[in-house]
Amino acid sequence: MSKIVLAIGGNAIIKEGQKGTIEEQRQNLLESSKPVLDLMDQGHTVVITHGNGPQVGNTLIRGEMAKSVIPEYPLDVYGAETQGNIGYLIQQIFKNEMSARNINKTIATVVTQSVVDKEDPAFQSPTKPIGPFYSKEDMEKIVASDENLTFVEDAGRGYRRVVASPKPVRIVEKEAIETLLNNGISVISTGGGGIPVVENDGKIEGIEAVIDKDFASALLAADISADYLFILTGVEQVAINFGKPNQENLLEMTIDDALRYLDEGQFPKGSMGPKIEAAILFLQKGGKNCIITSIDKLQEALEGKTGTRIVNNK
């Protein structure tokens, strides 16, 4: 049986066009839970990590809009809020579904911190899209009212606010996660890439950013010697010439292929790019199997029938 890290995108929990109500998120997570429960049922050890881009952006807006009556919090604390919120939904849905399917397992969420380098150049140039998608017109109105805000066009889906996204260098709760796994407990962790923290004089403290959950998941998967890292997103396979008439879906890609396609601009920075870079990171840290696919194709991808497997050079 395998140890499998499953990284679920924030955009799979709040889908394009949805407002992000709790009912919508519950329904999306319930649908996502079924293929994951199948893996647990087969005896695999599962770690679920998840994105928080839409959720942390919404929480930030909530804080900004309410600031005349209650204090605003820093972005790392909002990240922690989303870990609790999403972890709660996932563990409740999984617990209920496990009971219904007679899967005798325990699942728990670990509030997880990821150490970043305070000198990371990413603090000087925000790249991580968070929160809702805006039309160009609405985005321009927001920028006119607050010129400190930066937006980018996100993979043809509209404009989103961007914040700094430094690279994770260490998962603080790694040992706690391993201990739970070694005792047969399924774990939800590293939500939103982990709460960003920096080390100062031997102490850790929060810093305002949103970490890419695919990088943090790759780091965690390597740290715990996972057999598989699955990066689960909105497409069944990675493609070259994505969205064009000559689109070609890829079943397998070596590190060298991936680097060449990245150079060619086949994988945009705000969407597929970080996933490919995270896959390379996992392999370079000794990982063997990284597969990018959609959650409904999990089983077929594990069997090698679909998904895109990123592999070491041959």
Ligand X SMILES: Nc1ncnc2c1ncn2[C@@H]1O[C@H](COP(=O)(O)OP(=O)(O)O)[C@@H](O)[C@H]1O
Residue 62: count other Cβ atoms within 10 Å of its Cβ. Answer: 13
Stretch that binds ligand X, among 6-14, 34-42, 74-82, 170-178 (CB under 6 A): 6-14
Size, binding site for ligand X by CB under 6 A? 17
Mark 149-188 with x for binding to ligand X (rule: CB under 6 A) and - for no binding: ------x---------------------------------
**Shortest Å distance, C-beta 261 to ligand X:** 8
Interacting residue ranges for ligand CP, rule: CB under 6 A: 9-11, 51-53, 192-193, 210, 212-213
The one catalytic residue in 9, 53, 58, 128 is: 128
Amino acid identity, position 55: Q
Half-sphere exposure of 94 (CA within 13 A, CB side): 28
SS3 string, 227-293, reads: CEEEEECCCCCCEECCCCCCCEECCEEEHHHHHHHHHHCCCCCCCHHHHHHHHHHHHHCCCCEEEEE
Question: Is 34 annotated in the active site?
Answer: no
Question: Is 213 annotated in the active site?
Answer: yes
Looking at beta carbons only, is 52 or 306 nearer to ligand CP? 52
Residue 210 binds what, of ligand X, ligand CP, none (CB under 5 to 8 Å, by partner type)?
Answer: ligand CP
Does 37 contact ligand X by CB under 6 A? no
Amino acid identity, position 214: D
Does 298 contact ligand X by CB under 6 A? no
Question: Is 128 annotated in the active site?
Answer: yes
Stretch that binds ligand X, among 29-37, 93-101, 113-121, 236-244 (CB under 6 A): 236-244
Question: Is 11 annotated in the active site?
Answer: yes
- Nearest CA to 216 out of 28, 33, 14, 47 is that of 47
Residue 87 binds what, of ligand X, ligand CP, none (CB under 5 to 8 Å, by partner type)?
Answer: none
Residue 272 binds what, of ligand CP, ligand X, none (CB under 5 to 8 Å, by partner type)?
Answer: ligand X
- Nearest CA to 209 out of 148, 124, 83, 267 is that of 124
Stretch that binds ligand X, among 8-16, 59-67, 168-176, 201-209 (CB under 6 A): 8-16
Region of 204 (left: φ > 0; alpha: ψ -120 to 50; beta: rest) is beta
**Shortest Å distance, C-beta 164 to ligand CP:** 12
The secondary structure element, H or E, covering residue 219 is helix 213-223
Do residues 295 and 35 touch, judged by C-beta distance below 8 A?
Answer: yes
Tell me phi and psi for residue 253, to 5 degrees.
-150, 130
CA angle 282, 39, 27 (to 5 degrees): 95
Q: At what angle do helices 213-223 and 272-284 cross, to 10 degrees?
A: 20
Residue 52 binds what, of ligand X, ligand CP, none (CB under 5 to 8 Å, by partner type)?
Answer: ligand CP
Looking at beta carbons only, is 45 or 165 nearer to ligand CP? 165
Amino acid identity, position 96: N
Contact residue for ligand X among 111, 234, 254, 262 (CB under 6 A) = 234
Looking at beta carbons only, is 126 or 192 nearer to ligand CP? 192
Q: Which residues bind ligand X (CB under 6 A)?
A: 9-12, 51, 155, 233-235, 238-239, 242, 266-268, 271-272
Query: Which residues are known to be catalytic?
Result: 10-11, 128, 213, 275
